[in-house]
């Protein structure tokens, strides 16, 4: 397993290299001039050119990219054009709130999605099954920003039960995490139901029922255990989707995470911060995929890592 993990980490290097190249090119295709934005509206052309030279933006693109990669190999993500602070410090300070929001949303998606999917598969074509799958369809269809605003209007403005925005205690985490988790709950529930229905049709499940085992034991001990591998796969993929979806959620709820930092940095043409934020999110996504692959061996000991 250790050799397999090392091979996966080595294979991730070209992926991360491609991410740096793609992001470096895309942020420079955005309209606007970061030197002009930093110099101010009333700055002279001479001062704008001086700022451009100080930032190294007067160099050819390939020279800028080589400098960026050289700093990256030394653990230096650069300096923010907007604030003058190291990019690593800025992104890391915002990464903790984003991971907090993402992990809570992932737990909600896993617990609620798997529970609803298992019950729906155990009672197919029942009222609960139809109602839960209709709710899942609504959850998949509702835009994140619209759902966030509706929840904020109901629970914060109308009822006054929960804070509307910002990061604080557990109460501040409820609305953003529910908003972010809604589509994932729906997707995990539908996928779990489909997978469980396939497993419940297998012969060994019929054999377990013929032995007189209760429905609860058959579903949880025999069927769910064998259905977990594809379910874990979709949950791992949802982690990346939650990280990307956090951009809208953090903007709606004024959550001080990486997503909101990226939106502000794109608006200010702060190239180093955008590059550093995307790179850190890519590393997190690669890491969680590796963890999911390694979990396969824990869930099914018959799986061998060559």
Instruction: Examine the pLDDT at 55 and tell me if it is beyond 80.
Output: no
Per-residue CA distances from 118 to 61, 105, 127, 195, 250 (Å):
53, 19, 14, 9, 31
When comparing pLDDT for 145 and 295, which is higher? 145
Per-residue CA distances from 250 to 103, 241, 273, 281 (Å):
14, 14, 17, 15
Task: Look at residue 48 in the predicted model and tell me its pLDDT.
Answer: 74
Distance between CA atoms of residues 208 and 226, nearest Å:
14
Distance between CA atoms of residues 202 and 237, nearest Å:
27
**How confident is residue 33, by pLDDT bands cut at 50, 70 and 90?**
low
Which residues does 250 contact at the CB level (< 8 Å), separation at least 6? 98, 101, 176, 256, 257, 258, 259, 260
For residue 170, with 0-12 CB atoms within 10 Å meaning exposed, 13-18 middle and 19 or more buried, which class applies?
A: exposed
Instruction: Examine the pLDDT at 73 and tell me if it is beyond 70.
Output: yes
Helices (H) and strands (E) in the chain, counts: 13, 0
How confident is the model over 126-149, as a mean pLDDT? 87
Query: What is residue 24's three-state secondary structure?
Result: helix
Q: What is the fold of 87-299?
A: MetI-like fold (1.10.3720)
Tokens of 302: 């018959």
Instruction: Examine the pLDDT at 96 and tell me if it is beyond 60.
Output: yes
When comparing pLDDT for 1 and 207, which is higher? 207
Partners of 86 in the β-ladder = 79
Instruction: Examine the pLDDT at 201 and tell me if it is beyond 60.
Output: yes
Do 150 and 256 touch, CB atoms closer than 8 A?
A: no
Do 118 and 196 touch, CB atoms closer than 8 A?
A: yes
Task: Look at residue 127 in the predicted model and tell me its pLDDT.
Answer: 92
**Percentage of residues in the chain with pLDDT exceeding 90?**
2
Query: What is residue 171's three-state secondary structure?
Result: helix
Per-residue CA distances from 174 to 10, 84, 94, 105, 113 (Å):
38, 34, 19, 9, 17
**How confident is residue 4, by pLDDT bands cut at 50, 70 and 90?**
low
pLDDT, tens digit, for every residue of 144-174?
A: 888 888 988 888 888 888 887 777 778 888 8
Distance between CA atoms of residues 175 and 164, nearest Å:
8
How confident is the model over 268-293, as a mean pLDDT? 79
**How confident is residue 300, by pLDDT bands cut at 50, 70 and 90?**
low
Of the CA atoms within 13 Å of residue 155, those in its CB half-sphere come to 19
Q: Hey, how many other C-beta atoms are within 10 angstroms of the C-beta on 224? A: 21
Q: Domain limits of the chain?
A: 87-299
Task: Look at residue 37 in the predicted model and tell me its pLDDT.
Answer: 65
Instruction: Examine the pLDDT at 273 and tell me if it is beyond 80.
Output: yes
Q: Hey, how many other C-beta atoms are within 10 angstroms of the C-beta on 1? A: 11
What φ, ψ does residue 269 adopt, rounded to 5°?
55, 40
Task: Look at residue 39 in the predicted model and tell me its pLDDT.
Answer: 65
- Report the range out of 159-168, 174-183, 207-216 with the highest average pLDDT: 174-183
Of the CA atoms within 13 Å of residue 17, those in its CB half-sphere come to 9
Task: Look at residue 58 in the predicted model and tell me its pLDDT.
Answer: 74
**Percentage of residues in the chain with pLDDT exceeding 70?**
90
Instruction: Examine the pLDDT at 23 and tell me if it is beyond 60.
Output: yes
Longest dimension (CA), the chain: 86
Task: Look at residue 305 in the predicted model and tell me its pLDDT.
Answer: 55
Distance between CA atoms of residues 35 and 55, nearest Å:
8
Instruction: Examine the pLDDT at 304 and tell me if it is beyond 70.
Output: no
Taken in order 38, 40, 45, 46, the sign of the CA dihedral is negative
User: What's the pTM value of the predicted model, to 2 decimals?
Assistant: 0.77
Average pLDDT taken over every residue of the chain: 80
Which residues does 192 contact at the CB level (< 8 Å), separation at least 6? 113, 114, 116, 117, 118, 121, 227, 231
When comparing pLDDT for 114 and 214, which is higher? 114
């Amino acid at each position: 397993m250790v050799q397999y993990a090392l091979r996966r980490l080595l294979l991730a290097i070209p992926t991360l290299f491609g991410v740096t190249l793609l992001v470096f090119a895309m942020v420079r295709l955005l309209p606007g001039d970061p030197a002009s934005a930093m110099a101010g509206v009333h700055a002279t052309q001479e001062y704008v050119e001086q700022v451009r030279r100080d930032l190294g933006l007067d160099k050819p693109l390939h020279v800028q990219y080589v400098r960026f990669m050289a700093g990256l190999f030394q653990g230096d993500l650069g300096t923010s054009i907007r604030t003058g602070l190291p990019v690593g410090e800025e992104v890391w300070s915002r990464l903790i709130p984003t991971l907090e929001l993402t992990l809570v949303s992932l737990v909600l998606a896993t617990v609620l999605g798997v529970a609803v999917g298992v019950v729906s598969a155990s009672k197919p074509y029942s009222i609960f099954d139809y109602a839960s799958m209709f709710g899942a369809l609504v959850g998949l269809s509702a835009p994140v920003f619209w759902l966030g605003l509706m929840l904020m209007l109901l629970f914060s403005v109308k009822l006054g039960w929960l804070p509307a925005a910002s990061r604080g205690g557990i109460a501040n985490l409820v609305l953003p995490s529910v908003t972010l988790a809604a589509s994932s709950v729906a997707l995990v529930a539908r996928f779990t139901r489909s997978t469980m229905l396939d497993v419940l049709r297998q012969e060994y499940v019929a054999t377990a029922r013929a032995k007189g085992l209760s429905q609860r034991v058959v579903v949880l001990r025999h069927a769910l255990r064998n259905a977990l591998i594809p379910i874990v796969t979709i949950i791992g993929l949802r982690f990346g989707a939650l990280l990307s979806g956090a951009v809208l959620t953090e903007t709606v709820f004024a959550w001080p995470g990486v997503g909101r930092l990226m939106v502000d940095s794109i608006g200010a043409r702060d190239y180093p911060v955008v590059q550093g934020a995307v790179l850190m999110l890519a590393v997190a996504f690669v890491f969680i995929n590796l963890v999911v692959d390694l979990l396969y061996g824990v869930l099914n000991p018959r799986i061998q890592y060559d």
